[in-house]
Homo-oligomer: A and B are copies of this chain.
C-alpha cells in the first residue's frame, strides 16, 4: 500500500509539527482554541479570531442532558460501562442536519449567495431576495433563520456579532446573512438570524469552508457530552433509563 499523503501533521521520531509549527512550542504558548483554528485553517488565529472561536465553542458545548447528543451518550453509558469512547461516539452520532447542522447549511447558503452576486454582478439584496423567493416557493426553510421554539432573538447572536464588530472581522458573510434576514422580513416572514446563522456568517468571514459549521459544533459538543458521560458513570446506576413505549400496531388476532 502506498503511503497516504497529508498536509496536517508531521510526526517524526523526534518531533511533532502541526502545519509546520512545533508542538512543544505550541504546548507552552498557544491555547487549545488556537490549535483548533490551526488544524483546520493552515495558520494561527489573530486575537480577535481566537476570541470569536472561543465564544462559538463555549456557546455550543452543552445545552443540557436532554438534548439528543447528550441523551444518547447517557443511554450508551447506561448500558455499556466498558468504554467511555463508545458513549461519547453515540452522542456524536446524533449530530447532523437537524441537530447542530444548521451552521453548515447556512454557510452553504451564504457561499452560494456571494458567488451568485459576484458572477451576475448583482447587489446582495437582489440576490437575497431571489433566494428567499425560491425557498418560499418551494415551501422550505432557510437554515440559520428562525427557531423551533422561540420567536425572540437568541442573545448569543448579539454576543457573536458584537465580538465580530469589535474585532474588525465582519465581512461579506455577515453582510449576506443580514441581506437574507432583510429579504425575509420584507416578504412578510420576519424570522431573525439564529445562533447557527450567526456563527455561519462569522465562520465564513474567518475563511472556513461550509463543513466547518458541523465540525466545530462536534468539537464543542464533545466537551459537553464528555461531562454528561462522566456524571452518568459516577452518579447513576447502570440501565436506569427506560423510555416508556406504547404498542399501536397489528393485534395478535389479526396476524
Contact A255 to B68, CB < 8 A, known contacts A8-B249, A83-B86, A248-B6: no
A190, CB-defined interface residue at 8 Å: no
Contact, CB under 8 Å: A30 / B9: no
A99, CB-defined interface residue at 8 Å: yes
Kindly list chain B residues whose C-beta atoms are within 8 Å of the C-beta of A30. Answer: 54, 58
Contact code string A64-93 (vs B, CB < 8 Å = 1, else 0):
111011011011101111111111111011
Contact A42 to B250, CB < 8 A, known contacts A7-B231, A245-B5: yes
Contact, CB under 8 Å: A99 / B239: yes
Q: How far is the CA of A76 from the CA of B81 in the complex (A)?
A: 17
Q: How far is the CA of A54 from the CA of B201 in the complex (A)?
A: 27
Q: How far is the CA of A117 from the CA of B66 in the complex (A)?
A: 42
Name A19's contact: one of B65, B148, B159, B249 (CB within 8 Å): B249
Name A83's contact: one of B57, B78, B96, B156 (CB within 8 Å): B96
Kindly list chain B residues whose C-beta atoms are within 8 Å of the C-beta of A163. Answer: 28
A134, CB-defined interface residue at 8 Å: no
Contact, CB under 8 Å: B80 / A3: no
A100, CB-defined interface residue at 8 Å: yes
Kindly list chain B residues whose C-beta atoms are within 8 Å of the C-beta of A5. Answer: 245-248
Give the size range of A's interface with the partner.
Answer: 35 or more
A155, CB-defined interface residue at 8 Å: yes
A160: nearest chain-B partner, CB-CB: B27
Q: How far is the CA of A88 from the CA of B27 in the complex (A)?
A: 24
Contact, CB under 8 Å: B80 / A255: no
- Which stretch in A106-114, A125-133, A168-176, A213-221 binds the other chain? A213-221
Q: Which residues of A contact B (CB under 8 A)?
A: 1, 3-11, 13, 16-24, 26-28, 30-33, 35-36, 39-40, 42, 53-55, 57-59, 61-66, 68-69, 71-72, 74-76, 78-90, 92-101, 148-150, 155-156, 159-160, 163, 209, 211-212, 214-215, 218-220, 222-224, 226-231, 233-234, 238-239, 241-255
